[in-house]
Amino acid sequence: MAAGRLISLLATLFLSVSLLLLWFTLLSGITSTSPLRQTYFLRADTSGITGARGISQWTYFRICGIDNTDCGPARPGLPLGDAWATDADNVPRELIGSYGGGTTSYQYWYLWRFGWVFYLIALFFMTCAFLGSWLACLGRLGAGLIATVSSVGLLFLSVAVALMTATFVKTRNAFIADGRNADLGAYGFGFSWGSWAAMFIATVLYCVARRGHASDGVGRTNKRWSGSTFGRRKSSGTAGSRRSWDGRRVKDEYA
């Protein structure tokens, strides 16, 4: 199997892993089965806050209780302050504000809002790259096209994961500064950053595959050129021998 094709298949494998981990991230809170039951971005002590659970876990579509149970309604782009009531008491001052129906400060509203949008854009480009990944096995042009689409997907995924990380690390710190227990979700962060790492490797491999296809093409061209040259030399040598033999026979007949 040509090097370019083999590398393209390996890149598609990493792209598949990246998509799988991203779906685990996005579907957190939808069901109570593993590993989605353990997937959340932040768990914090929200006891004593107006309208909040004793323990709140932030997932992609919902705010849930412990082990992603007792979840609120699923909806896209929910505000960070959806865990408590409007103008709630005892919320860390940094987190509450006039956004999201009087539940969230402008900084956390936009941090998580834009992070959510970039996740969706990244998912779109990653899916396009996966559906067209077979083109990367056909030649240099196909590998270059998929490498470009993967690069765009990687760019948006990088921004999404960075914004998610900033949002919930800052939120955790705000809860801790307020004297409350809070910790980041190992599964949520692990799936997100694992998806980014696999996507990065896939993008690099698609770029390498493009060069691999180019090298394969040069090798085939050189082989064809060498074969044709050898054939011409062999033919020339045979013709020369024939002419030489014909010449000697003519001389012998006239001798």
pLDDT computed for residue 246 by the predictor? 52
DSSP 180: -
What is the span of the domain harbouring residue 197? 3-254
5 Cα distance to chain centroid? 20
pLDDT computed for residue 76 by the predictor? 76
Say how many CA atoms lie within 13 Å of 169 toward its Cβ: 7
Q: Across residues 117-137, what is the average pLDDT?
A: 93
pLDDT cut 70: percent of the chain above it? 82
Q: How confident is the model at residue 248 (pLDDT cuts 50, 70, 90)?
A: low
Alpha carbons 58 and 51: distance in angstroms, whole number:
15
DSSP 55: E
Question: Cβ distance 72 to 60 under 8 Å?
Answer: no
Beta pairing partners, 42: 58, 184
Phi, psi for residue 9 in degrees, rounded to 5: -65, -40
Based on the structure, what is the number of domains in the chain? 1
Query: How many Cβ atoms are within 10 Å of 24's Cβ, its own excluded?
Result: 20
Residue 43 sits in a domain whose CATH number is 1.20.140.150
pLDDT computed for residue 108 by the predictor? 94
204 Cα distance to chain centroid? 11
pLDDT cut 90: percent of the chain above it? 60
Q: Does position 247 have pLDDT exceeding 70, yes or no?
A: no
pTM value > 0.85: no
Element (H, E) at 57: strand 55-58
Alpha carbons 218 and 207: distance in angstroms, whole number:
17
Say how many CA atoms lie within 13 Å of 230 toward its Cβ: 6
